[in-house]
Structure 1
Amino acid sequence: MQLEQLYKQLAMFEKQKSDIENNIIAIKKEIERLSPFSKSDKIKLFRKLFIGNELVYAKHWISKDGLKKGYSPVSKTFKGTDYIPVNDHVIQQHLEGKVRMGTYAVKNQTLCSFLAIDLDKSSFVADARAIHTVCNAMDINAYFELSKSGNGIHIWFFFLEDVRARDARILGDLIITKAMDISDGIDMKSYDRLFPNQDYVAPDALGNLIALPLHFGSRSEGKTVFIDIDTMQPYENQWSILQNVLKISSQKLHSLIIDYARLTESTSLMPWEIKQEKLVLPKAVQMVLHNAIYIEKSVLSITLLNLLKRMASFYNPEFFMRQRQRLSTFNTPRVVSTYDLNERYIILPRGLYGKLKSFFKKHKVQMHIEDKRLNMKIPAQEFFLDLRSEQIKAKNEILKNDYSLLIAPPGFGKTAVASAVISEHGVATLILVHKTVLLEQWSKRLSEYFKIDIKSIGILGKGKKKLNGNLDVATLQSLKNRPELIENYSQIIIDEAHHMPAVSFEIPLKRFKGKYVLGLSATPKRKDGMEAIMYLQCGDIVHESVRESTVKHTLKTVTTQYDTFMDHFSMMLGEITEDDMRNRQIVDEIVKLSERKILVLSERIEHLNILWHMLEARGIDAVLLYGGLKTKEKRLQFEKTEDASIILSTSSYIGEGIDIGHLDTIIFTMPISYPERIIQYLGRIGRQGQQCLAIDFIDISVPMLKSSFNKRMRGYKKMGYVLAPVQTLFETV
């Protein structure tokens, strides 16, 4: 009986399904009958407005288990390269609800025919209306499509002719920037919600896609349709609206973006660095200082709130590097934002404190500050060292600021200055280093400067877990697993602070809630351009020392015969490592200079081992020093460096914080292009007033490597090195 009942229910459901399908067909026919547009008219209009790259289209898919879904380009063999071009049949299927289409915005690698902005936050209605206000002021027309979910909006702009994707995106930047001063729901991430989302698409790439509107299944639910943004109601006749779309001409586009494009041509400028609407400022702001800066939002105007967001945001250098190299920028944000928001506060990085004080003072806005930072006093450590005049100047500048950066070359005595600051502040201090070898080095210096037992200094890292809570040294890596430890200190000192932008280092530092932060570095610049993170966490540079020497150092260049067909840098380094003729040249130079104290740098441990064996075969003793050694072996080798004549080391190991002051010669065996690294390595040799020698091996037959030498020269010149003719080298050294 139960089975018979189930069969009856199934038959009833099948009849209901058939009735629904017949109703759908009838509705479609009625719509077609009432519409003045034929099927072919609609397809033609849809294709003209919404199709970007005609050579390919995407189709929506859902996995069998329903857990995965997305859009993929349609190809003949599903290999991803033999794409099927857009055709009238698939557009008709989309409009009838049989498939869901997506289109790739960029055509012919650099052009587009539309711009779209995707809004999907809970404030999407207010945000869309803000953009509508901006567009009215700019005298351009925007068309608002309610998304498939009904919880977002696509805003479409159509161009009279194909325009450069770059120009379309600049228009999008401009619209978003102006709308931010109307709606606080529009944030920095909106700059990454543009279609197209790149200026250029490589020949074998497609760029980002946008789901297309007017899918019948969604349309029948009042979604993926164009709406009146004021009433949020769909237009009664969608096709009439689309037929009468007012497009933006190239002349209009260029007139809108010409000044803005000039301002944002350089990636050092932010996309919002154009004339802002007049700031509306309160008489006073409420501010809490803790692990960050908390400012109450209740009295902040939208314009001021957005200004604060901008202060905590910066261009992502990786985005522009990838764009210059014509690589995909997918999942690479154009703007990095470091602020946070909750219902009560905008939360800004501590490093902005100085800028905020200056800004509010300039505009006569009172700051009511509640200081909740930890300021735990400890018995003061007496500092037993006479600082030089410039070191005293640096110390005094640091003491004027709670958050600060000291930039000074190797040999300046940053450790001594930091120790003097520890003595002056008299609070629980944690010193953070990024290499285990620096744990002992800092401990040794602190014990000397304060005349205390080295065992009384706490250490975390290198297998040691003895912290005393008053004066401790720890590796940044050791905090990754125990980030809560940083909350117990009133002051942190970060050695080689330019390493801080690494996410693994930045996260524990955000938990620090003490009063003082001091960053130390030989250079404020990073190769990836992310040094802004360092400033946002540590504060501004309060003292920068430039190495000025009356002694002229000498640079000797040695040309090699190395040549290659490789175009990948790491592969070249592999070949250079095993190039016997080139290695013999290096060893010959070392032997010639065996009376000097030499540091030999390479990028590869394998290369160092080859050179060490070649030197050993010629009866030359050398010390190997690199990060991969076991702790005991590393300590033994490091002890040997104190009176060693020749040290072979990886540049990454020796480059930062390692003190071997008796060396007077440095040999670069591998190409380095970044001048700031050269400055760091040159700072590892020479005592004050000592004349030094650098030897650089140039692979002139390889354009990429020859070019890297030109970049290195900037570092040599900055450190006072003069290129000497080979024949006069030993007369001048």
Structure 2
Amino acid sequence: MDALQTKRSTAGKVQLFSSFFSGLQNAYGTYDPVSGRSWQVKKLVTEKTILDHLRGKSPYGVYLLVEGRTRAIVTDFDLADYSPPHEFMSRAKHYGLPAYIEASKSKGFHAWIFFGQEGAKASKARLVVKNILEEIGYSDTEVFPKQDFLDQRACFGNFINAPLFGGLVPMKKTVFVDPGTFDPFPDQWDFLESVQRANEHLLDEIIEMNGLRSANEGGLKPKNDTTEQRTSGHSLPPCAQRILTNGVSHFQRVSCFRLAVHFKRMGLPYDITVAALKTWALKNTPPNGKGVIQDSEILKQTSCAYDHGYKGYGCNDPAIKPFCDPNCPVNEWRKQR
């Protein structure tokens, strides 16, 4: 396996690599492959910088954070254990976030989530990834970038070693691996071309759905939040009332999950919620001869809602929007934010 040994042109590989692993252009990190000692290089990132990395001459570490935005976010699992990165990837997938696993230069793994050329706000990406890590029980895992923004105390941030260092690729290190087998993909360039990038709007949805707040905003939404007081108790918000009363034709799974979240907020026991949702399913009218949501899926969605601290209302979710009421107290609160 060779980081440059494919039919693609060298310029094409550099361009493809740089579209994923780029950040600050006036500095980068590197390390001694023998001793492991790392340091910062205050020089421009050039095509030669990338080529030296891919050819195994000098490793390249990318400072991901640029003006509060990042093209990628990385979790650094430093143990030779397949479970943590696999659990992270599965949980990210649950939220619709494509994550990809790299065997790092040492014994552990990196899990990468990529964004478009404009990147995403680092504060949003870090908030979502930290929430996923907390949900799977690995909240102490390092996340890159390590900051939400740069300031006088953190002029550069922290670099993360980029994949595909030519000196380690033949040793099956710094390569992306198949999550099913943890064997390297046979053609890393084909793999990169197949990578899906996440959208910043999806981060917004996840943040809202889980009621997340950054540390500067006080963490998770407090239990005495005025919006929750106005929409909890013994009533459902108008959108949920309509979904429950009339059933749905589309997005049965998402609608089931949202109803379960509301029922949990109201204090209904798990078994009562499951029974109510099984009755609700009979009202659904999926098109084209499709069947209504199955009991097994209802159990899965209800368990997901009850096992985690979801607090969001999903107002921007395509499954919820058709049922929104402009006079809903949640809508009023959102306008005031």
Aligned-residue offset at 1:250: 1.8
Specify the alignment match of 2:109 in structure 1: 153
Distance 1:28 1:219 in 2: 6
Distance 1:213 1:266 in 2: 32
1:107 paired residue among 44, 51, 66 = 66
Specify the alignment match of 2:326 in structure 1: none
Specify the alignment match of 1:46 in structure 2: 17
Q: Secondary structure of 1:176's partner? A: helix
Higher relative contact order (CA 8 A, sep 6+): 2
2:134 paired residue among 173, 177, 180 = 177
Q: Deviations over 1:224-247 (max 9, x none)?
A: 100011101110110011012100
1:125 paired residue among 82, 86, 94 = 82
Specify the alignment match of 2:149 in structure 1: 200
Specify the alignment match of 2:140 in structure 1: 189
Alignment check: 8 A CA contact 1:170 1:261 kept: no
Distance 1:248 1:52 in 2: 17
Distance 1:171 1:28 in 2: 34
Aligned-residue offset at 1:117: 0.4
Distance 2:79 2:171 in 1: 21
Alignment check: 8 A CA contact 2:212 2:220 kept: no
Q: Deviations over 1:388-436 (max 9, x none)?
A: xxxxxxxxxxxxxxxxxxxxxxxxxxxxxxxxxxxxxxxxxxxxxxxxx
* Distance of aligned partners of 1:266 and 1:101 in 2 relative to their CA distance in 1, 3 Å threshold: closer
Aligned pairs (5 A) from 1:215-254: 215-254=165-204
Opposite residue 196 of structure 1, the aligned amino acid is: P
Specify the alignment match of 2:269 in structure 1: none
Q: Secondary structure of 2:32's partner? A: strand
Aligned pairs (5 A) from 1:128-147: 128-147=85-104
Alignment check: 8 A CA contact 1:118 1:194 kept: yes
Distance 2:112 2:218 in 1: 29
Aligned pairs (5 A) from 1:487-636: none
Aligned-residue offset at 1:179: 2.1
Task: Tell me whether 1:210 sits opposite 2:177 in the alignment.
Answer: no
Q: Secondary structure of 1:217's partner? A: coil
* Distance of aligned partners of 1:101 and 1:266 in 2 relative to their CA distance in 1, 3 Å threshold: closer
Task: Tell me whether 1:71 sits opposite 2:38 in the alignment.
Answer: yes
Distance 1:28 1:164 in 2: 34
Structure 1 residue runs of 5 or longer lacking an equivalent are 1-26, 75-82, 181-185, 277-302, 308-733
Aligned-residue offset at 1:70: 2.6
Opposite residue 73 of structure 2, the aligned amino acid is: L
Alignment check: 8 A CA contact 1:59 1:102 kept: yes
Opposite residue 53 of structure 2, the aligned amino acid is: H
Distance 2:209 2:144 in 1: 22
Distance 2:131 2:62 in 1: 24
Q: Deviations over 1:295-335 (max 9, x none)?
A: xxxxxxxx9xx99xxxxxxxxxxxxxxxxxxxxxxxxxxxx
Distance 2:199 2:163 in 1: 23
Alignment check: 8 A CA contact 2:28 2:43 kept: yes
Opposite residue 86 of structure 1, the aligned amino acid is: V
Specify the alignment match of 1:353 in structure 2: none
Aligned-residue offset at 1:61: 3.4
Alignment check: 8 A CA contact 2:77 2:108 kept: yes
* Distance of aligned partners of 1:195 and 1:261 in 2 relative to their CA distance in 1, 3 Å threshold: farther
Aligned pairs (5 A) from 1:177-576: 177-180=134-137, 186=138, 188-190=139-141, 193-202=142-151, 205-260=155-210, 262-264=212-214, 269=219
Distance 1:49 1:172 in 2: 18
Q: Deviations over 1:557-601 (max 9, x none)?
A: xxxxxxxxxxxxxxxxxxxxxxxxxxxxxxxxxxxxxxxxxxxxx
* Distance of aligned partners of 1:266 and 1:202 in 2 relative to their CA distance in 1, 3 Å threshold: closer
Q: Deviations over 1:68-97 (max 9, x none)?
A: 6432221xxxxxxxx311100011011000
Specify the alignment match of 1:667 in structure 2: none
Opposite residue 172 of structure 1, the aligned amino acid is: V
Specify the alignment match of 1:435 in structure 2: none
Specify the alignment match of 1:94 in structure 2: 53
Distance 1:195 1:261 in 2: 23
Opposite residue 116 of structure 1, the aligned amino acid is: V
Structure 2 residue runs of 5 or longer lacking an equivalent are 224-260, 265-303, 309-337
TM-score (norm 2): 0.61
Distance 1:257 1:116 in 2: 18
Distance 1:98 1:56 in 2: 18
Task: Tell me whether 1:116 sits opposite 2:74 in the alignment.
Answer: yes
Q: Secondary structure of 1:118's partner? A: strand
Opposite residue 46 of structure 2, the aligned amino acid is: N
Q: Deviations over 1:473-526 (max 9, x none)?
A: xxxxxxxxxxxxxxxxxxxxxxxxxxxxxxxxxxxxxxxxxxxxxxxxxxxxxx
Q: Secondary structure of 2:127's partner? A: helix
Distance 1:99 1:126 in 2: 31
Distance 2:92 2:187 in 1: 23
* Distance of aligned partners of 1:112 and 1:269 in 2 relative to their CA distance in 1, 3 Å threshold: closer
Aligned-residue offset at 1:264: 4.6
Distance 2:180 2:19 in 1: 27
Distance 2:200 2:140 in 1: 27
Distance 1:269 1:174 in 2: 11
Aligned-residue offset at 1:270: 6.1
Opposite residue 91 of structure 1, the aligned amino acid is: I
Q: Secondary structure of 1:133's partner? A: helix
Identity %: 25
Opposite residue 118 of structure 1, the aligned amino acid is: D
Aligned-residue offset at 1:258: 2.5
Aligned-residue offset at 1:157: 0.5
* Distance of aligned partners of 1:270 and 1:139 in 2 relative to their CA distance in 1, 3 Å threshold: closer
Distance 2:219 2:119 in 1: 28
Distance 1:111 1:133 in 2: 25
Q: Deviations over 1:656-681 (max 9, x none)?
A: xxxxxxxxxxxxxxxxxxxxxxxxxx
Distance 2:201 2:23 in 1: 21
Q: Deviations over 1:532-577 (max 9, x none)?
A: xxxxxxxxxxxxxxxxxxxxxxxxxxxxxxxxxxxxxxxxxxxxxx
Aligned-residue offset at 1:263: 4.3
Distance 1:266 1:92 in 2: 40
Aligned-residue offset at 1:269: 4.1
Alignment check: 8 A CA contact 1:143 1:157 kept: yes
TM-score (norm 1): 0.29
Distance 1:197 1:28 in 2: 31
Distance 2:88 2:180 in 1: 12
Aligned-residue offset at 1:266: 5.8
